[in-house]
Amino acid sequence: MDFGSLLSQTFEQAFGPLAIVYCLAAIGLNVHFGYTGLLNFGQAAFMAVGGYAMASFVQTWGLSMWLGMLVGLGLTVVLALLLGIPTLRLRADYLAIVTIAAAEMIRQTVGSVTLLEYFGGQDGRQGNFAREFRELNPFDEGVDLGFANWGANDFWVMCVGWTLVALSCLVVWALMRSPWGRVLKAIREDEDAARSLGKNVYSYKMQSLILGGMFGAFAGFIYGLSKNAVIPTDYATDTTFFAYTVLLVGGAARVLGPVVGAVIFWGLISALSVFFSQATRSDLIPDSIMSNDQASLMRFIVLGLALMLLMIFRPQGIFGDRKELAIDGR
């Protein structure tokens, strides 16, 4: 058992590009679910729209990546409007159904053979669409902290990514302490009460959906840039559910909840994966119980168990206030 590599891999993953992607996606969900009470189960759709717009602009149409990002953000607004207009007047669960369906529709559409020449089918868009981003990289070689090291490209993504996370948290913090954020919370608590006090609930929900969706688009950008690829399977429903897990681990309706949640989530996944892989290889766990192939799935099983225990014993997440949760919202 090599605990040194276990710790270093855990650390690398906990602060690596993937953690940033899920952190940004969870920040968006925090605006939707944590503050406004909107059950958006299609955050992957917003990420896909962002990522695909950026990648196809370069690879399919040979245009600027930055323009692609801008259009991607515009398209997330359009997507939010399309999802919101029919459903935001209805009860919360309808939005959940519509968003989960819409996310699958978008994934199947961009992955379809008919649109192969634009979006690359199931292979997605890979190649070198991130060139413009990588040219700006000031780091010539990777960064080695002794106990952890990242490649030059990953480290550049992390610098930009964590800056983006910090800015996003700042925006969320500034908005949620304002009267605007207070209206969102009022809507989460009781829509009719907000309405009876003269707040246009529909408009506020739409603003929240758009804002959170844009954080999702940023997550899509970082995802694409870190891998230099956008692939349909990256935007499946489990992406959304992982983002929800990140949010719940950290604590919903807390500004730093998604950040802490993402670090813990990816640290834990990596630690479990390394542990089981090494344990099966070194016969700590004999082959008769578990083979090396099966070990790679154990992390999700243990993670699921951990999530259940968390919900039972600390349902408010790391940052949440238990007293707040104890209040019945009658």
Burial environment of residue 253 by CB neighbours within 10 A (0 to 12, 13 to 18, 19 or more): buried
Stretch that binds other proteins, among 47-55, 64-72, 153-161, 173-181 (CB under 8 A): 173-181
> What one-letter code names the amino acid at 52?
Y
| Shortest CB 20 distance to other proteins, Å | 23
200 binds other proteins, rule: CB under 8 A: yes
CA distance 128 to 298: 34
CA distance 112 to 153: 30
Stretch that binds other proteins, among 11-19, 38-46, 121-129, 181-189 (CB under 8 A): 181-189
- Binder among 56, 207, 240, 245 for other proteins (CB under 8 A): 207
CA distance 13 to 189: 36
Stretch that binds other proteins, among 135-143, 176-184, 222-230, 239-247 (CB under 8 A): 176-184
Give the end-to-end CA distance of the chain in Å, rounded to a whole number.
Answer: 52
| Shortest CB 75 distance to other proteins, Å | 20
Number of residues in the chain: 330
Residues 28-47 that bind other proteins (CB under 8 A): none
Categorise residue 142: left if φ over 0, alpha if ψ from -120 to 50, beta otherwise: beta
175 binds other proteins, rule: CB under 8 A: yes
322 binds other proteins, rule: CB under 8 A: no
- Binder among 135, 144, 293, 328 for other proteins (CB under 8 A): 328
- Binder among 63, 193, 284, 305 for other proteins (CB under 8 A): 193
Instruction: Extract the tokens encoding 284.
Output: 């700590």
Query: What DSSP string describes 159-198?
Result: HHHHHHHHHHHHHHHHHHTSHHHHHHHHHHH-HHHHHHTT
164 binds other proteins, rule: CB under 8 A: no
Buried/exposed code over 30-68 (b: 16+ C-beta within 10 A; e: otherwise):
bbbbbbbbbbbbbbbbbbbbbbbbbbbbbbbeeeebeeb
| Shortest CB 199 distance to other proteins, Å | 6
> Nearer Cβ to other proteins, position 85 or 193?
193
- Binder among 186, 222, 225, 285 for other proteins (CB under 8 A): 186
> Nearer Cβ to other proteins, position 113 or 323?
323
- Binder among 114, 117, 179, 312 for other proteins (CB under 8 A): 179
| Shortest CB 165 distance to other proteins, Å | 18
Burial environment of residue 10 by CB neighbours within 10 A (0 to 12, 13 to 18, 19 or more): buried
Question: Rule CB under 8 A: which residues touch other proteins?
Answer: 171, 174-175, 178-183, 185-186, 188-190, 192-201, 207, 211, 323-324, 327-330
